[in-house]
Amino acid sequence: MESIYLQRCLGTCLTQGLAEVARVRPLDPIEYLALWIYKYKENVTMEQLRQREMIELEHERELAMMEQEMLERLKAEELLFQQQLAFQLELEMQEKEKQETEELQRTQQELNKDMSLEGIARGEESILSEESVDSGKTLAEISDRYGAPNLSRVEELDEPMLSDVALNIDQDL
C-alpha cells in the first residue's frame, strides 16, 4: 500500500532524485534528497503556473485578435455606411438639380407663353392703334363703352420745345 502511494505521488520525483544522489554522491544524501524533492516540487509548480499563464496569454491573444477583427469590421462597415450616405446625398443633389431644372424649364415655358400672349395682345393693340391712326378717330369714337373719355387728337411737332418750367429755371440761374 505504501509502495502504491509512493509510486503514485512520488514516482518520477523519487526515481529522478535517487538517480541524482547516486550521480553526485553528497556527504548527507538524505538531506540532499529532501532539498532536491523540495526544489523539484517548486519547479513543477512553477512550470504549471507558466503553462497556465501561457494558456491565459493565448486566450487573451485570441480575444485581442477577435477584438481587432471586430474593429476592422466596424471600420469597414462605417466606411461603407459613409459611402452609402455620400451616394444618397449625391442622388438627392442630382434629384434636386433635376427638379430645379424642371422648375426653370416650366417657368421658362410659362414666360414664353406669356410673351407670346403679350405679343398677340400687342399685335392686336398695334392693329387697333393702326386702325385708330389710319381712321383718325378718337378713343371715345372707337370705344363703345359708356363714360369713355372724349379726348381730342393732339399732334406733336417735330421741333423740341422747352417747357415754361425749364425756361424759368434757366432764368433763375
Q: What is the pTM of this model?
A: 0.42
CA distances from residue 42 to 35, 38, 46, 55, 137 in whole angstroms, order as listed: 11, 6, 6, 20, 135
* Domain membership flag for residue 53: yes
pLDDT of residue 36: 94
Cα 32 from Cα 39, distance rounded (Å): 10
> Three-state SS for 117?
helix
Note down the domain range covering 66.
1-117
* Domain membership flag for residue 167: no
* Domain membership flag for residue 59: yes
Number of domains in the chain: 1
pLDDT of residue 150: 60
Please count the residues of the chain: 173
pLDDT of residue 134: 47
Cα 29 from Cα 6, distance rounded (Å): 19
* Domain membership flag for residue 90: yes
* Domain membership flag for residue 143: no
* Domain membership flag for residue 92: yes
With a cut of 70, list the residues of the chain below it in pLDDT: 1, 119, 121-173
Cα 22 from Cα 24, distance rounded (Å): 6
* Domain membership flag for residue 78: yes
* Domain membership flag for residue 29: yes
